[in-house]
Chain A
């Protein structure tokens, strides 16, 4: 069931400001210099310069991506959460609606949510979707991602911002993912510790150093680890693998007790996404895709079907996922 979206597009600062001034509930993605100049209102936002626009993937700091959500302003709330406060997103969630979270990359809130959110009692009871704020890849390490709460006028490089929206009884929120990757027929890999880094792992029941294992098999580390979550294919992407130190760093944590396999390669990312979006009948009120798909799939200037939105440093579909298109739909209850 499609809900009318007044705005879901790249906008100038003036256009975004006008949308906010109209009272609409919106999510804004863009450069910090623009987000910091938006007026107070019913919006949350985060920094990112990459977008999937109707004309294709693009990088810009001149415009912001505005997604208007089908929410009544009186049924919208927003709040910043420090890492310590994040478990409260569960009791704070609307009784019938959804939450949308934006977290600065590499912030304490990012680490906390990635590693512990799946264990928050009740996390999966109400849909929670979102993304990890980032910066231009060439600025990583020099510029810090930031999130904004337009209602309070606050911004943060450490806290997560969460938008909570109530839906009318006849509507329901659903979260979906489009993951092109599948675990190849290769080795089964498990880890003994949950975290963003791993040294030791078990490959086919045999203890190994994971970095050296990847080197030995000549793994393409642009391809993620994929785990089968009882039918859902969930990725964990590899940031770096250093055989010398034996340490592999990930964009999201690997979890103990979950079996991973290295993904098989994707030929044409853009065409594959477009086909998958069509197959799934995606009708999204909000969507985001991963910077790694943009980068490794050379998506600049290419479209991925009709789904548009920010290109992010990680996606949230209940838990943090990588190299995945995540979307929120509003359906008839």
Chain B
């Protein structure tokens, strides 16, 4: 496990990432890119240089979590699919705030704890993604020699030793290590029902066909960049990327935007 920071008796892991096989990450990117984007185009879309992207694809780079996340967004594939070599489900649009669990498991029986406990490999990957209930908790049992990487794309994950921090050190001398994971942040319950990202009303809104002058500063500035970007690039992927962002921000400021949106979206 990547060594977390030690604060007040528990561990707070902000970001930790180590791909299981950097070569397989590169292969997954190359496979997802094939026939769709040139290296230069993917570099542009993912705000990465051609040189770095080329290195990653050849398995020679050591990409940061942020870089991989941008590449995944640009390819419209899940981060998991890149890390796990193509086994993850597709993600529509960019990351939204509020973590959820996105992993290689299908149900509770394949929880991270089970995943780690049964793993014959020395590493496991748990990806927290937007959307799942805040306050989500789980536990991992880490056996000697086992590791787990927790990728936190937004929010904060606390890894708490069940008993004392001294047990963390016990990992090295052969004792199982029990780790509690919890997602910090307040529960978010929206009173506003917004159309899903694919609803055509969003397309009309971000395409500038519908007049909208929101009150919240964040919405005003974002909406301006949304409309200018969609004018420049009306491709479905770009529209989807911005609609997801806009929808999330409007929900965030729903106390200010609910009435305004009701008029616009009906």
The residues of A with any CB-CB pair to B shorter than 8 Å are 74, 77, 85, 87-88, 90-96, 116, 118-119, 121-127, 166, 169, 175-177, 227, 229-232, 234, 255-258, 317-319
Contacts and interface: CB of A to CB of B under 8 A. Distances in A.
B184 interface: yes
B14 A231 contact: no
Contacts of B154: 90-91, 93, 95, 122
Given A91-B154, A176-B217, A122 B248 contact: yes
Interface of B: 7-8, 14-15, 47, 64-66, 69-70, 73, 94-99, 134, 152-156, 184-186, 212-215, 217-225, 227-229, 231-232, 241, 245, 248-249, 252
Given A87-B47, A121-B241, A124-B245, 12 more contacts: A87-B70, A94-B156, A95-B185, A121-B95, A121-B245, A124-B219, A124-B222, A126-B97, A166-B184, A230-B212, A230-B219, A230-B220
Which interface residue of A90, A93, A122 has the most chain B CB atoms within 10 A? A122
Contacts of A319: 221
Contacts of A234: 221
Given A126-B97, A230-B212, A231-B220, A96 B241 contact: no
Which interface residue of A74, A255, A257 has the most chain B CB atoms within 10 A? A257
Contacts of B220: 229-232
23 contacts: A85-B66, A87-B47, A91-B69, A94-B156, A95-B134, A95-B155, A95-B156, A95-B184, A95-B185, A96-B186, A118-B221, A123-B222, A124-B222, A125-B252, A166-B184, A169-B186, A227-B224, A230-B212, A230-B213, A230-B219, A256-B228, A317-B217, A318-B217
A180 B213 CA distance: 20
B217 A88 contact: no
Interface of A is mostly: mixed
A152 to B, nearest CB: 12
Contacts of B134: 95
A71 B184 CA distance: 17
Contacts of B153: 91
A91 B95 contact: yes
Contacts of B7: 74
Contacts of B64: 88
Nearest to A112: B47
Nearest to A227: B224
B225 A125 contact: no
Contacts of B214: 230-231
A291 to B, nearest CB: 22
Which interface residue of B7, B14, B220 has the most chain A CB atoms within 10 A? B220
